[in-house]
Chains A and B, each alone.
Chain A
Amino acid sequence: MNAPETLTIDAEPRRRLVASRWSPGGWPMGLRLGAALALLLLGASLLLPLLLGVDPMVTDLGRRLAAPGQQGFILGSDQLGRDILARILAGLNWSLAVAAVSTALAALIGVVLGLLAADRPGLLRTVINQLVDMVLSFPGLVIAIVVIAVLGHGFWPLVLTLGVLSWPVFARVVYAEARSVLAEDYVLAARLLGTSRLRVLLGHVLPGLTPSLMVMLAFHFADMMIAESALSFLGVGAPLGTASLGNMLSESRQYLFVAPYMMLLPAAAIVLAVVAANLIGDGLAAAGRRGRTYAHDGSDKA
């Protein structure tokens, strides 16, 4: 959940830099790999269920706990005889949607409050910064339980919990970066020319934050995938019985001896999705660094 720090693994020759960093050919290896993996997972979770035509909720107690490949189940069946492949695809769908929407919500709140705090010194800044510290020290589990008690289990309670708990991550970075952009001469020039504060923020500050925002979105998405599965695992996330990766892992605990695949397969799905998002985040960070390196002719002291 901290500012993304990355390990540079790109030792590609300099001529690579000439290629545009926005065309896939110029992307770092990791970014290409991550994007491919993300597309693969997204495509599979959307299209494969249609091809398979298996309902992830249908139980068949006569064919329970079948190993992968047995009794007509490609990846086996769970304790109620439900198809594990169909459940993983449905669970992936659910987790990706929760992670995407809660990341968007966190980014929205974080960017708005971060920009406000950077732009308005005084009371508003103090209040927002205190709020950031406060939310960061709030136990997430208690929030989740309260939200669920009020709104019930489901997609929106989960998204709300995750978004409301995690926006300070965005607010902190946006605040720090926006403050340094606001101190630039061109912002002062824009102000002297009579540009309104809102237009300065949206037209001059926000575009400057885009590269780091994109990196943060990718990493945050990965964090939200993990958090969603953890909350569902604890029974305060997805509605009980829903095909969600966290629920599947939680159910698998009682069958560790007889059916380890019930745990290993959904675990692999989570890991793949998180790794894809991390690869994209790393790749974007590397691409951003490299773009800067190129623009400043080799001296990256920004």
Chain B
Amino acid sequence: MKALVSTVGRRLASLVLLLVVLTTLLFFLLRVTADQALVLAGPEASAEQVAAIRAQYGLDRPLLTQYVSYLGDLLRLDFGTSIISGQPAIAEVRARIWATVALAIAGMMTTIAISIPLGAWLGARPHTGGRRTLAAFVFLLQGTPGFVVALLLVQLFAVQLKWLPFMGYGSFATWILPTLTLASFLAPKLTRVVAANVNSALAEDHIRTARANGAAFTEIYWRHALPNALLGATALIGTQFAFLLSGSVITEMIFGWPGIGTLLIRSIQSADFAVVQAVTIAIAIMVFVVNALTDASFRLLDPRLRRAGS
């Protein structure tokens, strides 16, 4: 129990440190890229109008003063106001985060549903004809960037066959292509890892002993090899999910998905710094939590780690 408290405490401390550094970097880096007052005033504004806007938004204060007041606002969970919509930045993020999270969950579920059975099947006897061909196909797919897959899917299902909509967010049909895109990007890797793990688990000494003692292949496979192999895959699943949560920007952009990925791109383009900062902080927290949960579940699932303590 004491160990648990100290682990959680250490984790929280490093999360706080991460957020402090991240917000500081973001604050100064973003202000290098564009002048918000100019963006707000528009291209035809006179110098006086720009100066008035600077004063109105407090942009005429020294950068350090702005930074301190920004940090103070953050502590009160005030992420600032979007200069585009006039809404609080956190509301903009809240309105879109579920589209990203839901798509990430759909993509991850599809990936798991494809990869684990396929990898387990491929890994059991990797050298037979049909499985070799399929393994080669998985390898080819692993070399294909996600947005290329997205473009190919759009070309096939939306342009040629006209079965599914190009883009959009709503009915079930609009979910299919983005989900497939994410799965096609992640599934090859997971499949190959599961297959390699199953294969090396089957080569272990205790499996050979069990075989020598007369245990049936199916029993060894289901009871000994597969659970061990899946344990190893847990870490990758966690990493992949964290990756999906960080806003699959390109997938969201191609399919016009109203998630935080598109929000990030749009606010960067329009120098809407409050929103960029809020999105980045939200992503960092989500990624951090998923990674911590993956670590924890790893300890929970693996009896060897549990016994070792700490």
Binding site for B on A (CB under 8 A): 1-2, 5-9, 11, 130, 133-134, 137-139, 141-142, 145-146, 149-150, 222, 226, 229-230, 233-234, 249, 252-253, 256-257, 260, 263-264, 267, 270-272, 274-275, 277-279, 282
Contacts and interface: CB of A to CB of B under 8 A. Distances in A.
Interface stretch (B69-77, B173-181, B246-254): B246-254
B300 interface: no
Nearest to B29: A146
B139 A234 contact: no
Contacts of A142: 26, 29-30, 264, 268, 276, 280
Contacts of A130: 14, 17-18
Secondary structure at the B interface, as helix, strand, loop or mixed, is helix
B148 interface: yes
Contacts of B296: none
B246 A139 contact: yes
Nearest to B18: A134
Nearest to B204: A301
A252 to B, nearest CB: 7
Contacts of A137: 18, 22, 246, 283-284, 287-288
A271 B22 contact: no
B122 A7 contact: yes
B232 to A, nearest CB: 8
Contacts of A253: 151, 254
B144 A271 contact: yes
A6 B119 CA distance: 12
Contacts of A149: 32-34
Interface in B20-69: 21-22, 25-26, 29-30, 32-34
A226 to B, nearest CB: 4
B4 interface: no
B39 to A, nearest CB: 13
Given A139-B280, A234-B250, A256-B159, A249 B148 contact: yes
A259 to B, nearest CB: 11
Interface in B240-294: 246-247, 249-250, 253-254, 264-265, 268, 276, 279-280, 283-284, 287-288
Contacts of B192: 5-7
A7 B127 contact: no
Contact of A146 (B17, B30, B132, B152): B30
